[in-house]
Amino acid sequence: MEIQQILTSISLCTAVLGLFFSVPLLSMASKRPGNAWLALFLFEFAWLALADFVFSEPAMGAHPGWIVAFHWAVAGLGPAFYCYVRALTGQLNGVRQLWHFIPQLLLIASMLWDLLAMSESAWRVAARGCVPCSSGPSLLVFQLLAAVYGIAVSYRLRRFRAGLRENYSSLAGRDLRWLSHSTALLLLLLALWIPAVALGGYWQAGLAAGRLALLVALGWYGLSRPGLFMRKHDAVPAAIPASATPPVAEPPATGPSSVSESGEKYARSGMNTATESLIGKRLAQRMEHQRDYLEPDLKLGELAERIGTSPQLLSQYLNEALGLSFFEYINAQRSLEVQRLMRDPSHAGATLLELAIAAGFNSKTTFNASFKKSTGMAPSVWRKLQAATFAPIG
């Protein structure tokens, strides 16, 4: 009895919070379109939590047909969450995306048919725990469909992070790790739904607590994180004007086209051996003299414009000629800068974090990972070895 009361309280709290988060998110939808989809997801999520609360009340026994007013939301969870992630990762959600919600319309139609076709006695059987003939299997189907959407979201987020590494030298505040964790929690809750319905008790308590945690996480981050949308770089000329950088002898733009294993990605880039050589020379000069990598939030488009080429050609050069993403290349340069600073006696008293920040890093995790990839050892170990190598004898 105590567990049931706790479950009822959690469900009511989840419903109220979901509705509370939905209103401000929807009000900001004109400036941040992704918020409209998050508001829809949280509203439907809250509606299902409200169903758990209502079903525990005596009024449901008198009006079992109310079940139709709640279970329709289960079919919209997956599509709404997927469209929200599309918006955050720079994808447009036009009218064509509404096809994702066709199954929800079919579920509503199915439940309305049950409501009109079933007798009152049959509905009272449903109120004791058995869902109507077409509603029961369909609820399970739509739970599975939501899981499919969750898997699709995980795949899209992995692709998104790969794209970030091609365009940004810092992933801080952009990689949407919190959304990956939320997606994992959503998938876990969908898996918990089956034992919670079948066994109840602590399974149901875990499901209710998980729902509340997921709703708070999504609602909080949805309201507090404004800069989440990935934007494309401003276009710059694909050709390399000599006036854009320090004088460099340009070889004639002839020769065989550069064809990589990435194939279709750069099929129309216009890269040739002369252009590749020129980009390499100008990039090396920028790194040696201007040291753009010291800028903590350097972007591919910014660096490409400074050396007089396009982001696509610079990305192709890094990927094919050096075998690195933009993120890996810039942070490798920063790792070399940290090594230089470690060798400098004037920085002997500086901490590793201070050296990392001075070299352009703005994340300790990225610094440690990049340094270890460049040297094969942790920064602290490398520094100790360096100190031992050049320590005075006697």
Beta carbons of 54 and 66 less than 8 angstroms apart: yes
pLDDT band at 3 (very low <50, low <70, confident <90, very high): confident
Question: What percent of the chain is modeled with pLDDT above 70?
Answer: 77
pLDDT of 226 reads: 57
Q: Using CA atoms, how far apart are residues 84 and 219, in angstroms rounded to an integer?
A: 12
Q: Structural domain boundaries of the chain?
A: 2-224, 242-389
* Mean pLDDT for the stretch of residues 104-129: 66
257 bridge partner residues: 272
13 bridge partner residues: none
* Mean pLDDT for the stretch of residues 196-220: 89
Domain 2-224 has CATH 1.10.3210: no
Beta carbons of 88 and 34 less than 8 angstroms apart: yes
| Residue 372 exposure: Cα atoms within 13 Å on the Cβ side | 10
Higher pLDDT, 202 or 21: 21
Q: Which fold has domain 242-389?
A: Arc Repressor Mutant, subunit A (1.10.10)
pLDDT of 115 reads: 67
User: For tokens 């050609």, what's the residue?
Assistant: 313
pLDDT of 236 reads: 36
Question: What percent of the chain is modeled with pLDDT above 90?
Answer: 48
pLDDT band at 382 (very low <50, low <70, confident <90, very high): very high
Label each residue of the chain as H, E or C. Answer: CHHHHHHHHHHHHHHHHHHHHHHHHHHCCCCCCHHHHHHHHHHHHHHHHHHHHHHCCCHHHHCHHHHHHHHHHHHHHHHHHHHHHHHHCCCCCCHHHHHHHHHHHHHHHHHHHHHHHCCHHHHHHHHCCCCCCCHHHHHHHHHHHHHHHHHHHHHHHHHHHHHHHHHECCCCCCCCHHHHHHHHHHHHHHHHHHHHHHHCHHHHHHHHHHHHHHHHHHHHHHHHCCCCCCCCCCCCCCCCCHHHCCCCCCCCCCCCECCCCCHHHHCCCCCEHHHHHHHHHHHHHHHHHHCHHHCCCCEHHHHHHHCCCCHHHHHHHHHHHHCCCHHHHHHHHHHHHHHHHHHCHHHCCCCHHHHHHHCCCCCHHHHHHHHHHHHCCCHHHHHHHHHHHCCCCC
Torsions phi, psi for 256 (to 5 deg): -65, 145
Q: What's the sign of the alpha-carbon dihedral 292, 295, 296, 300?
A: negative
Of 84, 90, 91, 43, which is closest to residue 221 (Cα–Cα)?
84
Q: Using CA atoms, how far apart are residues 57 and 87, in angstroms rounded to an integer?
A: 38
Tokens representing 174 are 């952009």
Report whether pLDDT(190) > 70: yes
pLDDT of 359 reads: 96
For the stretch 313-369, pLDDT in tens is: 999 999 999 999 999 999 999 999 999 999 998 998 899 999 999 999 999 999 999
* Mean pLDDT for the stretch of residues 91-108: 85
Across the chain, mean pLDDT equals 81
pLDDT of 235 reads: 35
For the stretch 156-167, pLDDT in tens is: 999 999 999 999
Report whether pLDDT(388) > 80: no
Beta carbons of 82 and 40 less than 8 angstroms apart: no
User: For tokens 């099929």, what's the residue?
Assistant: 267
Report whether pLDDT(376) > 80: yes
Tokens representing 143 are 């739970």
- Among 128-132, 190-194, 238-242, 376-380, top mean pLDDT goes to 376-380
pLDDT of 101 reads: 92
Q: Using CA atoms, how far apart are residues 1 and 217, in angstroms rounded to an integer?
A: 29
Report whether pLDDT(308) > 80: yes
pLDDT band at 120 (very low <50, low <70, confident <90, very high): low
Report whether pLDDT(174) > 90: no
Stated length of the chain? 394
135-167 and 326-343 helices, crossing angle to 10°: 50
pLDDT of 109 reads: 83
* Mean pLDDT for the stretch of residues 214-238: 64
Report whether pLDDT(1) > 60: no
Q: Using CA atoms, how far apart are residues 235 and 238, in angstroms rounded to an integer?
A: 9
Q: What's the sign of the alpha-carbon dihedral 246, 314, 302, 252?
A: positive
Report whether pLDDT(231) > 50: no
- Among 111-120, 173-182, 235-244, 284-293, top mean pLDDT goes to 284-293
pLDDT band at 237 (very low <50, low <70, confident <90, very high): very low
